[in-house]
Amino acid sequence: MPMTTAPIEAPKRSASREHLLRELGTAVRLRRNELGLTLKGPVEKVHVSQRFLVQLESGYGNISVVRLEDVAEGLGTTGAALLASALRAPHPTSEPAVVALVGLRGAGKSAIGAMVATRLGVPFVELDELVVGEAQMTLATIFEIHSEHYYRSVERAVLRRLLARDEQMVIATGGSLVTDSETWGLLRSRARTVWLKATPNDHWERVISQGDVRPMRDRPRAMNELRALLTRRKALYEMASHAVDTSRRSPEAVADRVITLLGA
């Protein structure tokens, strides 16, 4: 009677190995975002397939040492540096404990963030308030005396320390955080991000209702600028884990929707 050979099943990876692959993918994505490269950038430089790079960044690519070095070369770094970054990442015991709200001014991040934090029983943090505290000056003064580059560096440093606490919290971010690829990549890798969407008119009316008339001061085309800004950032906001349309919804209803999406 002929012998039959049972198929050999690949051994299941341990949780620590799965974590390592996820963090390696995150390190690759953060480096690519830091350089402002699309997925095609490193693909064209080292001749790996775009599909393989997507799998790697998603944490599913079981990459060899040699191939990792190829990818690293395309990103202007080394495989050892990417692996070291992955090994430094803390091992999570569950879903990311941090919830971060993103969106343009007037999206409702502060009001809704406070509601969500209260219902979850966790602290609520305004990232810009921490930046102001770190710089010991107002946001307006930061931009007037220093520069956007300085603001971004302080924002990134404050966010890194905040996330390093490994504590549950809800964060309301500045509307332009997503334009800094490194900071946005860091936040997405360590938190569940929620884009609070709204129409340009909604953004406009909410800011005005708060008593802030700066958006239209000496700027007759301010509404057109707002529409253009939302259009430019849309693709960045869409990279968030979830999106909630806040138009024609009360803050309470939006908070309910956010909590539902979080599965809390």
Q: What is the CA radius of gyration of the chain?
A: 21
Domains of the chain: 15-88 (1.10.260.40), 98-262 (3.40.50.300)
Per-residue pLDDT of the chain (264 residues; tens, 9 = 90+): 444 444 434 344 556 677 788 788 888 877 887 777 777 767 777 667 877 887 787 776 778 888 888 888 888 899 898 888 877 765 544 445 899 999 998 889 999 999 999 999 999 999 999 999 988 888 888 888 888 888 989 999 999 999 988 899 999 999 899 999 889 988 998 899 999 998 888 887 877 766 554 444 455 577 888 888 888 999 999 999 899 999 888 899 999 999 998 876
What six digits make up the tokens of 158?
């404050």
Pairing of strands 191-197, 169-172: unpaired
